[in-house]
Structure 1
């Protein structure tokens, strides 16, 4: 029967495998064998690197950094609101400043880009009711229409820096997601409505919209971040002035117009946004 090998014999065999002085081999290979296998892998990975670089070059050569190549299956725009909060739930006490300060500060920061001075300096006055179509090459910088903060009136934060939160009459700002080349409404302005999702409609009371309850066509189309550098999305401010107090109210705001989807079963941000309010 074969005798069991000792640990010393195992160690000796392993040492000889690492370096065999008789055959002058390292890890079971001599110098020629190591040179051949290293050359093989060098050529293999050089070939793979070249193929990868060629594919990337071909891809970059066929797409534009300014306009998406394929836009046939792009969904209509979704909507978002500000101030942005986790869970889209606004709960505050109008008499306790610390419960709503974060909301007002968020809106102030968001609207900095819409300050009248910045808009007048960087953007142009456009004709309402029609698309702002700009000809030229894709890489040429495009002009943007002014959307001045003062247009939001009671919800601009200029006269009332608290945006109505200190009075229990909060302002929520609605904006549509940007889609390159999208002509909103197919010639008809996209309107905005807000109502109770389920329950007594009187709980929400009267709702004010600033500057109007629709997105004007002159802010479309959007030409992309690289060329439309000063573009600021149009906004609709929603002023809730008669919301019932001490009640959880679920509000749904929708956009309506041609090519707009606002009743998708699984995407609750496509053409609509749902949020809750509890004002004490």
Structure 2
């Protein structure tokens, strides 16, 4: 509240007192000015809380209005924003890019991948010009021939019971299917009868078709399936076929055929008392070498050696190792059990 000072009429004083009264008037005026400033500050303080209260009331009203609206509007707004991002009809932009921007991006990527494909194609074309599709360029790492046996057996374990055909019938089916290409009539029709004991070398261009020598199914005799359709499994005398993997240009060294020899890998050697081989030489004749590749040596038939285990101990597992024997043959590689040898197990139950 403003304080008002009552004006009093000053009595007549001597001239020396007049200056004192003037100083008193200045003090009073200063006091009144200070009072006015304080009043204005109080008025401001009273006004500020009101403005804050008004703002809080507005926020509460907005929240109430927002709570009163259905929640679906928020999802609808998000869908609108998403649709506008995908396609904005006003600005005519798709995924925040104009048609010109998309065209430049697509053109850039097309030129990049086209040039990349052209470089790769050129490299491949140059590579194929330097290699032959008929003869491998590098054969140093495949010189030692590997071997494989038939019929197929899981983990190379031949387990069967002679008195239970279901345990060995799948071996018979596997052998019959494998030997279909060795039928005598088919071999006589496709291949030629070559003289044994010498290489069958064929001159000419590398892309010329080569002839193949006959290897008839009848060469396997008791293991051919012609005389005994069960291949000896019904009597506990199983037949197992062994073949060398094909290597283009391979020739047994010194003109000596590669032979096959089987024995007990570990244990009593008397567990296998008798083995018959077919052909009787237990070797791969020289007339089936060299091999010229599958593109030109189309009818080539890999020679086989059949092992007929006629006397094997029964009711126990017998580990068998069959090795290739010959000049330049490697059969003692520890970390590869199929280079020059094969190891399998016979477990014949009665």
TM over 0.5: yes
Residue aligning to 1:120: 188
Per the alignment, residue 243 of structure 1 pairs with 312
Q: What TM-score comes out, normalization by structure 1 length?
A: 0.91
* Range moving further from structure 2, 84-93 or 192-201: 84-93
- Structure whose CA Rg is larger: 2
Deviation at 1:75, TM superposition (A): 3.9
Equivalent residue number for residue 79 of structure 1? 147
Aligned-residue offset at 1:15:
4.6
Is residue 263 from structure 1 mapped to residue 332 from structure 2 by the alignment?
A: yes
1:202 is matched with 270
Question: Per-residue deviation at 1:252?
Answer: 0.3
- C-alpha distance in 1 between matches for 2:308 and 2:89: 88
Q: Answer yes or no: is the 8 Å Cα contact 2:143–2:250 preserved in 1.
A: no
Q: 1:30 aligns with which of 98, 102, 105?
A: 98
Q: What is the 5 A alignment of 1:36-47?
A: 36-47=104-115
Structure 1 residues 221, 7: CA separation in 2 closer, same or farther (over 3 Å shift)? same
Task: State yes or no: 1:166 paired with 2:234.
Answer: yes
Alpha-carbon distance, 1:61 to partner: 2.6
**C-alpha RMSD over aligned residues:** 1.9
Q: CA deviation at 1:134?
A: 0.7
- Quote how far apart the aligned CAs of 1:109 are: 1.4
Q: Name which of structure 1's ranges 16-25 and 98-107 shifts more when overlaid on structure 2.
A: 16-25
Verify the 8 A CA contact 1:251 1:275 in the aligned structure 2: yes
Alpha-carbon separation, structure 2, partners of 1:16 and 1:105: 68
Unaligned ranges ≥5, structure 1:
1-5
Q: Structure 2: give runs of 5+ residues left out of the alignment.
A: 1-73
Q: Retained in 2: the 8 A contact 1:129–1:216?
A: yes
2:295 aligns with 226
Q: Which has the higher contact order (CA 8 A, sep 6+)?
A: 1
Specify which of 206, 210, 229 is matched with residue 142 of structure 1.
Answer: 210
TM-score, normalising length from structure 2?
A: 0.74
Higher helix share: 2
CA contact 1:208–1:238 (8 Å) conserved in 2: yes
Aligned to 1:3: none
Distance across 2 between alignment mates of 1:19 and 1:111: 68
Aligned length: 275
- Partners of 1:113 and 1:12 lie apart in 2 by 70
* Aligned: 1:98 with 2:163: no
